[in-house]
Structure 1
Amino acid sequence: MTGPGTAVEEARREIVRVGTSLFARGYVHASAGNISARVPDGHLITPTDAALGFLEPGRLALVGADGEQIAGDRASKTLTLHRRIYEADPSARFVVHTHSTHLVGLTLAGVWSADDVLPPITPYYVMKVGHVPLVPYHRPGDPRVADLVAERIAAGAANGTPVRAVLLDRLGPVVWGPDAAAALAVLEELEETARLWLLTGRRPEPLPAPALAELRDVFGAAW
């Protein structure tokens, strides 16, 4: 049987593994970005100004369900955002925020729309990512962002189109999922689609309505 202590230690190892992978593949740089995981009675989150490629398991911030820090280095300034995502989406167990190059570049060049930062140009974007709204610029760590993201999650749930990610203007994506693998799959597909759209001069047209309908019918895509 896995106890609370074992679950926390497993989450520590997973956060370090993900941070190392993101850094090695160029999704994060310097001390940009943060990662968290839901654990029994609280959350683990990377410390403020931590370099995700060089995390130490014992220095990750352990935070109780009430938001008070229990152990580790001082929690990331985005803690409020992470906690609100977990509250708004009960299925979320892992959250990743990066400053991925093409997605930040997309906010500078201009997103497709405020409700969909990218058009549905590939089937896997439709199936694996779905709708990604743009969150207007606020300074890093501004708690008002948490409210805006929670509102987007609630709206998606009400429409039957669950939100798995948002894009923070000039700061990059925040993605989440039931585990690290699911969250990373969203991040990777989202960044790759942004890269494709920018490389093609933002010219590709969205998949036509019949193609989107087929993805919904055959694969259950929530679009």
Structure 2
Amino acid sequence: MTDPRTDLAVAGARLAALGLSPGSSGNLSVRVDDRILITPTGADLAEIDPDGLSVLGLDGAHLDGPRPSKEFPLHSAFYRRDAGTRAVVHLHSRNATAVSCLPPWSRRSAVPPLTPYFVMRVGQTPLVPYAPPGDAGQAEDLARLPFPFRAALLQNHGPVMAGPTMARAVDAAVELEEVSALLLALGERSPRLLTDEEARVLAEKYDAPWGER
């Protein structure tokens, strides 16, 4: 069994190497029993110290370690929303952040079903209305959305993904950045999207959250 602290540090280094975490932006967390281990405020994801993580309760209470990222309410919201969530990744990756500044495709997903891998690995990705970084009210808005999802775009801010493992959350982050790049590259063109039926079949096969527009 791998160590969740090490998994978190390795994931941070991978995301930074891919260019998805500019500067000291972004934050990662893992859930271990009734505790959340999260990157400290101002942490560089390329150089995370596995022994220097902040420790929180599921309610966001700071229990140990350095001061946590101010985005901890988002992480706590995902863990409270779904008991199966074991990792959360929040980034300021360029393309997904650009899409967060555009009108959403639908109420349930800012991003349309452009590729099968988006549906399979990410699923519907709602746009959460703008709030200042770290805003607890925005996290509560996310927690109360009445449909399933494992990823969201924070308006004018960036993506946040949850997963049953850190590896799954990272894969979702990479896939969301890729489909966002494709969407931006298409510009004003009207691309063929997957049909409702095509998306439904993929979602059922890969246990991905997806609903009709």
Q: TM-score, normalising length from structure 2?
A: 0.89
Q: Which amino acid aligns with 1:215?
A: L
User: In structure 2, what residue type is equivalent to 1:198?
Assistant: L
For residues 98 and 145 of structure 1, what CA distance do their matches in structure 2 show? 16
User: What runs of 5+ residues in structure 2 fail to find an aligned partner?
Assistant: none
Distance change (3 Å), C-alpha of 1:48 and 1:216: closer
Alignment of 1:172-191 (within 5 A): 172-191=158-177
Answering whether residue 164 of structure 2 is matched by residue 164 of structure 1, we say no
Matched residue, 2:124: 131
Q: Aligned AA for 1:35?
A: L
SS class of match (1:44): strand
For the 8 Å contact 1:119–1:205, the answer to whether it is kept is: no
C-alpha separation between the residues in 2 aligned to 1:70 and 1:210? 47
Does the alignment pair 1:85 with 2:85?
A: no
CA contact under 8 A between 2:9 and 2:48: conserved in structure 1? Answer: yes
2:149 is aligned with what amino acid? V
> Cα gap change, 1:45/1:214 in structure 2, threshold over 3 Å: closer, same or farther?
closer
Q: Which amino acid aligns with 2:105?
A: W
What residue in structure 2 maps to residue 31 of structure 1?
Answer: 24
Answer whether contact 1:32 1:98 (CA < 8 A) is retained.
Answer: yes
Assess, with a 3 A threshold, how the Cα gap between structure 1 residues 83 and 205 changes in structure 2: closer, same or farther.
same
Structure 2 partner of 1:159: none
CA distance in 2, matches of 1:118, 1:202: 15
C-alpha distance in 2, partners of 1:222/1:71?
Answer: 34
Q: Number of paired residues?
A: 209
Give the unaligned 5+ runs of structure 1.
157-161
Rounded to whole Å, the distance in 2 between the matches of 1:190 and 1:122 is 11
CA contact (8 A) 2:12 2:28 kept: yes
How large is the Cα RMSD of the aligned pairs? 2.0
State the identity %: 40
For residues 99-118 of structure 1, the aligned pairs below 5 Å read: 99-118=92-111
Q: Which has more helix, going by share of residues? A: 1
Q: Which runs of 4+ in 1 moved over 2 A?
A: 64-71, 107-115, 208-223
User: Based on CA coordinates, which of the two structures has the bigger radius of gyration?
Assistant: 1
CA distance 1:117–1:57, shift in 2 (3 Å): same
TM-score by length of 1: 0.86
> Are the structure 2 counterparts of residues 107 and 66 from structure 1 closer, same or farther at C-alpha, using a change threshold of 3 Å?
closer
Rate the CA distance shift 1:26–1:210 in 2: closer, same or farther, 3 A.
same
Q: Deviations over 1:48-95 (max 9, x none)?
A: 111111111222101234533232210111112211210111110000
| Contact 2:11/2:167 (<8 A) preserved | no
Secondary structure, aligned partner of 2:199: helix
